[in-house]
């Protein structure tokens, strides 16, 4: 995996990235610019990222699938994410 600095263009290999994911030249945050691997998103919650994680997920409570509802507030349509319905209670 390669990390790039969008400010100065410096490119780092993953083993060269220091703690904090900051560019050693200008201090800007680094971004992934070349993911080497296969990502096959399937499912919901953390299981969606299973193919990228170095561990096997055994169970899920359905976290990350809380609904979004719309309402009108002072004549403006707004959306609310109902996080209190999270099955983990968090």
* Predicted TM-score (pTM) above 0.75: no
- pLDDT tens figures, 45-89: 666 667 666 666 666 666 667 788 999 989 999 998 888 877 766
User: Taking the domains of the chain in order of start, what are their residue ranges?
Assistant: 2-34, 45-85
- Give SS3 for 81: strand
% helix, strand, coil for the chain, step of 5: 15, 30, 55
> Which residue carries 């169970």 as its tokens?
59
- What is the rounded CA–CA span in Å between residue 47 and residue 60? 8
- pLDDT tens figures, 36-47: 566 666 666 666
Which residues does residue 31 pair with via DSSP β-bridges, in sequence order? 4
What's the full length of the chain, in residues? 90
């Amino acid at each position: 995996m390669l990390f790039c600095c969008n400010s100065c263009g410096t490119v780092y290999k993953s083993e060269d990235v220091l703690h904090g994911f900051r560019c050693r030249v200008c201090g800007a945050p680094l971004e992934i610019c070349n993911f080497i691997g296969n990502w096959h998103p399937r499912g919901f919650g953390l299981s969606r990222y299973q193919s990228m994680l170095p561990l096997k997920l055994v169970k899920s409570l359905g976290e990350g699938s809380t609904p979004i509802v719309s309402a009108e507030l002072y004549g403006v349509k707004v959306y609310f994410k109902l996080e209190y319905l999270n099955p983990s209670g968090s």
